[in-house]
Structure 1
Amino acid sequence: MRIGLITPEPGHPLLAATVALLTPEHQVETLDPRTVEGPAEPLADVYLLKSRTPRALALARDLEQRGAPVMNSAAATALCQDRTAMAEQARRAGLPFASTRTFTRLAQLASGPPLPGPVVVKSRHSRRHDLVARLDNGTQLRELAGAWPQEPVVVQDFAPNSGWDHKLWAVGDQLFAALRRSELSPEGRGPTLPLAPDDLPPGWPALVRRVGEVFELDVYGVDIIDRGDGAPLIVDINAFPGVRGQSGAPQALAALTLRRANRSSTASTRRVAGVRAE
């Protein structure tokens, strides 16, 4: 099988370990979206989209239009970058997603009514080094607006919790989990602690898989906080996260990649056979 990686970082631990599992029998090539002009023919049997830049999304869309399967799709990846669209999609589907308000500029929020209580402010468009901050009062808001005045943002009411985020990842049908101290906690971001999926509260694994169905994602992460009674609150969804330090994640990704590649190869063979029969 031929497998393409759409990424500027093929050395990422998850990708590197997955490639090491695949290369003894399969051909893997990297397409750096910063430099590649277009994919070479013939197309690969499947492409893994591990980048969220405009150039990477454009490359993925071009591949899809030419009939190549991309995992995750360009549309699903782009949806997870827009936190306003993400929240709307989740709440329409009945998912327990944090109530989300959108402001075209952070300065607009600062010039409005006083904060009703602690809130979490995030960049509307998810990207590396974006804005995520807890604000408790107007002084903090004005200071943040002074540093990020033009930033489009979303605002979520702060939900009291233990200070630990549940980091849940899905690679196909396989689920991985960990606890990580929230970057919004007074102590700041802390270590990541192992968490067995079997130790999750009842219904949480099914909720994660429902997220995958709603957003049409194959490899994704779901950030959930426990409000104290076991009731989950989803605060973020990520397309193709790093899944760092999770034993078995590279094996799961390699197996999923080959399943998608085999499905693509079988469908292509059937199309060719149909043409010849005609």
Structure 2
Amino acid sequence: MRIGLITGDPGHPVLAATAALLGRRHEVLAVDPAGPADASADVYLLKARTPQALALARELERGGAPVVNSAAATELCQDRVRMAELARGAGLPFAATGDAGRLAELVAPAHPFVVKSRHSRRHDLVARVDDPDRLRELAARWPDEPVVTQPFVPGTGWDQKLWVVDRQVFAARRQSELASGSGKSGPAEDWEPPADRAALALRVGEVFGLDVYGVDLLDGPAEPVIVDVNAFPGIRGRAGAPEALAALALRVAAERGRIPVG
């Protein structure tokens, strides 16, 4: 069996560990997201989220190849306006998210609030705004950035990170850079999520059509609040995640008739 990893970074820890597990019995190949569509693999794992990677994934899907996550689900998670609309429409407790246009044109809601790049990507904008001076500072640095706003949720000061691989939930928590105002997150700590939060994370996957994803939660006044959903995040340092990812690749290939079951 051949497993294709669509990634610009095949040495990423979770991908490297997954490839090592699969490589004991199968062939694993790194697929350049900007390269041609080589449909020779039995299943593809879509880690990259660039426009080229999404175009490649769509082409592979049109040719009948299974891709995890799908190009459509991955692309949806890059647009925080669409993400919030889908989540709230499905009854998920997603933070109220407003499309604010370009940052330089933002009419600020009540302080404090959180401003984020509308389009989720590496090194995007995520910042707490406490006063007009902070907003002017950000607007000077990111004037043309399309952004969204969310209410600032002080909660307990801890970010709750839940990652799901084929309905297996992994989790950690860390002190929030937004709550502290320091601009730096605390180190990740092992954390066993309560059953309601694990169930909420699984529901997110059902709504968004995702098999590998992350859910960022905060403690709201009455219930947990979802502030972001990420397709195929890093899942660094979570014991069992590479094994779950390897098993998912084999299961999807088997279900699509690419390899024998068992």
Q: CA deviation at 1:222?
A: 0.1
Distance 1:202 1:20, change over 3 A: closer
CA distance in 2, matches of 1:234, 1:53: 24
CA distance in 1, matches of 2:198, 2:258: 31
Q: CA deviation at 1:37?
A: 2.1
The match for 1:17 is 17
Give the gaps of 5 or more residues in structure 2: none
CA distance in 2, matches of 1:129, 1:267: 38
Quick one: which of 196, 207, 225 aligns to 1:203? 196
The match for 2:214 is 221
CA distance in 2, matches of 1:175, 1:87: 22
CA distance in 2, matches of 1:72, 1:211: 14
Amino acid at match of 1:186: G
Q: CA deviation at 1:228?
A: 5.4
Deviations 1:84-121 (A, max 9, x none): 00000000000000000012200111xx3x53121000
Q: Is the 8 A contact 1:115 1:138 kept in 2?
A: no
Which runs of at least 4 in structure 1 moved beyond 3 Å after TM superposition?
Answer: 266-269
Amino acid at match of 2:238: Q
Quick one: which of 76, 79, 82 aligns to 2:76? 79
Q: CA deviation at 1:227?
A: 2.4
The match for 1:120 is 114
Deviations 1:168-191 (A, max 9, x none): 000002110100122212242110
**TM-score normalized with structure 2 length:** 0.95
CA distance in 2, matches of 1:202, 1:220: 18
Q: How does 1:177-188 map to 2 (within 5 A)?
A: 177-184=171-178, 185-187=180-182, 188=184
**TM-score normalized with structure 1 length:** 0.89
For this pair of structures, how many residues does the alignment match? 259
Q: How does 1:1-278 map to 2 (within 5 A)?
A: 1-34=1-34, 36-39=35-38, 41=39, 43-109=40-106, 112=107, 114-184=108-178, 185-187=180-182, 188-196=184-192, 200-227=193-220, 231-265=223-257
Give the gaps of 5 or more residues in structure 1: 270-278
Structure with larger Rg: 1
Tell me how large the CA RMSD over aligned residues is.
1.6
